[in-house]
Amino acid sequence: MSLAKRLEALNQVYQIYDDYSAALDLACEASCAHCCTANVTMTTLEACKIMDGITASGRQALSTRLKSIEEIPRFKPLLTTNRMAELCAASAKIPAEDSTDQGQDCALLDNDLCTIYDLRPFGCRCFVSRQNCGELGYADIDDFTASVNTVFLQVIEHLDAEGCSGNLLDVLLVMATNDNRRAYENGKLNCEANGLIVNWELKVLMIPPEHREKIEPILQQLRHIHL
């Protein structure tokens, strides 16, 4: 599938999720940014959406800003969601991730506002909480929504199965160069050589038995994405 079609599919996936989350009773609001940390992850496809959605001068400014903070401590995932699903299905050992909160803000946060809000990746869209995280100390998310989030992460990774995933800052740094963007478009971006992890196709959905019936209408919407 061409990059343009995959970006169109990504937009539709985001829309389905945004419609789902809009119906939830959440404490989330503008300027609430406790969840905007340097630990967000995303795919290379989502980086393309961000890069394509900002002006050339905005891209240059973003690139300069990212380079100035490229040493900040941040979460670097070892496994993608689809890889983890396969390992779980095979009852294989899952390597432990270091998800220690490094206390750093997201590179794209400015005065508690996201500078790319409409373009933000799914890793941000799925930050939802029934109570204010700052007051509670953690996000209060119901189990069903956690399952929905996992499914969307799996679908988005599948859409970018020839691409890579990683920390938001790392993926943007990689995709900000013309050579890497070209290599990505030609299916030749070397994830590991660029400090990212390889995306996997979706083979096993991670949905607990108690959520399988309730989630079916959402799966139907995802299956009916038109390109």
Binding footprint of ligand SF4 on the chain (CB under 6 A): 27-28, 32, 34-36, 40, 106, 108-109, 114, 116, 120, 124, 127-129, 132-133, 139
Q: Are strands 109-110 and 41-43 parallel, antiparallel or unpaired?
A: unpaired
32 to each of 68, 101, 172, 182, 221, how far by Cα in Å? 25, 18, 23, 36, 30
Rounded to the nearest whole angstrom, what is the least distance from the CB of residue 223 to ligand SF4 in the complex?
28
> First and final CA of the chain: distance in angstroms?
10
Nearer to ligand SF4, 122 or 200 (CB): 122
Nearer to ligand SF4, 106 or 171 (CB): 106
Rounded to the nearest whole angstrom, what is the least distance from the CB of residue 67 to ligand SF4 in the complex?
17
Rounded to the nearest whole angstrom, what is the least distance from the CB of residue 172 to ligand SF4 in the complex?
10
Nearer to ligand SF4, 114 or 183 (CB): 114
Rounded to the nearest whole angstrom, what is the least distance from the CB of residue 166 to ligand SF4 in the complex?
14
Nearer to ligand SF4, 46 or 157 (CB): 46
135 to each of 109, 125, 130, 201, how far by Cα in Å? 20, 20, 12, 38
What's the maximum distance between 2 C-alpha atoms anywhere in the chain? 49
DSSP, collapsed to helix, strand or coil, labels residue 110 as strand
